[in-house]
Copies of this chain bind each other. A is one copy, B any other.
């Protein structure tokens, strides 16, 4: 539980009362490799804290091919944020790539606490802002850099991930085919 509190406090410090309340909302849970935290098509209602492990967020294109949109490496917040906010069916599945230790809470309950604690409302704002910044970062990278550079950045950002994931997952995250990633790797080796 302590990891969780540290994580929260690093985003936005929170008063005692509020802390107590949210602690009660979150229950520990195990997520095994390949288990889904949230599936496509369902209405999301849980938010989670990923203590340990790796989770991917992905969706399918028309031909049913997977596109890995994001990797979460603990400690991190997970959950189908868009579905939680819009109350629409979820489009982006989240699946454990390794065994994971998580804490889960009901998002609606959390939202209710916004009324009660200004601190938590602020936390919610900071989290939303953080997500926004992350996305903008990725948007710029996608628009500005070619796959070679994106690959290097991603190795830098998630050093562990290449050891754990098959390369087609990584290719999909970079928005390229495994073949292309293979070509890039070869080019990097010979230079």
Contact = CB atoms under 8 A, between A and B. Distances in A.
Nearest to A67: B143
Interface in A59-102: 59, 61-62, 67, 69, 81-82, 85-86, 91
A47 to B, nearest CB: 14
Interface residues of A, number: 30
Nearest to A136: B82
Contacts of A143: 59, 61, 67, 69, 175
B91 A59 contact: no
Contacts of A138: 139
A36 to B, nearest CB: 19
Interface stretch (A24-32, A123-131, A157-165, A178-186): A123-131
Contacts of A136: 82, 135
Contact of A135 (B62, B121, B124, B132): B132
A188 to B, nearest CB: 19
A142 interface: yes
B133 A82 contact: yes
Interface string A49-64: 0000000000101100
A138 to B, nearest CB: 7
A93 to B, nearest CB: 13
